[in-house]
Amino acid sequence: MDKVYVQGMAFYGFHGAFKEENKLGQRFYADVIMEMDTKKPGKTDDLDDTVNYALVYETAKEVLEGDPVKLVETLTDKLSRLILERFELVQAVTVKITKPDPPIPGHYDSVAVEVRRERGFEEL
């Protein structure tokens, strides 16, 4: 399966387990890898035959700038499900959400969660 990458999307959201995170907000980054057949758009050079990257960005923006959640795991799951729901050509998707500068004493880089979902995966 071919892969289409939309990486380094940056958003400002109010997600986190602590009230301060929900009040002050912070940056979040999203990386998306979509597994799909790109033979047709490769031949036709037609945007209608593939996934519009701008719409993928808007979907990520909706989730990451949307209603606050506590966990990065929730964000990655929600975004992966929406991509599979909205983009029929995508057979599987890997979503990585990075939260830089988490409020963890002595930790100054980032935390990230990556999930892979495919069409037809079982619900929990």
Q: Lay out the sheet containing 92-100: strands in order across.
A: 2-13, 26-36, 92-100, 110-118
Model pLDDT, residue 124: 42
54 part of a folded domain? yes
* pLDDT band for position 120 (cuts 50, 70, 90): confident
pTM: 0.92
Instruction: State residue 123's pLDDT score.
Output: 56
CATH of the domain at 43: 3.30.1130.10
More reliable by pLDDT, 95 or 18 = 95
124 within a domain of the structure (yes/no): no
Q: Let me know if residue 42 belongs to a domain.
A: yes
pLDDT of residue 63: 98
Q: What is the DSSP letter of 13?
A: E
Please give the C-alpha separations between residue 37 and each of 1, 50, 79, 81, 102, in angstroms, as whole numbers.
6, 9, 21, 19, 37
Burial class (CB in 10 A: 0-12, 13-18, 19+), 112: middle
How many domains does one find in the chain? 1
**Amino acid letter for position 31:** D
* Active-site residue, from 3, 43, 96, 99: 99
In one-letter notation, the amino acid at residue 113 is V
DSSP, collapsed to helix, strand or coil, labels residue 76 as: helix
Q: What is the pLDDT of residues 25-74, one digit of tens each?
A: 999 999 999 999 999 999 999 999 999 999 999 999 999 999 999 999 99
Domain that holds residue 25: 2-118
What's the token pair of residue 69? 């959640």
- CA 106 – CA 101 distance, rounded (Å): 10
Contact 84, 56 (CB under 8 A): no
99 among known catalytic residues:
yes
What is the structure's pLDDT at 122? 57
Q: Is residue 123 part of a domain?
A: no
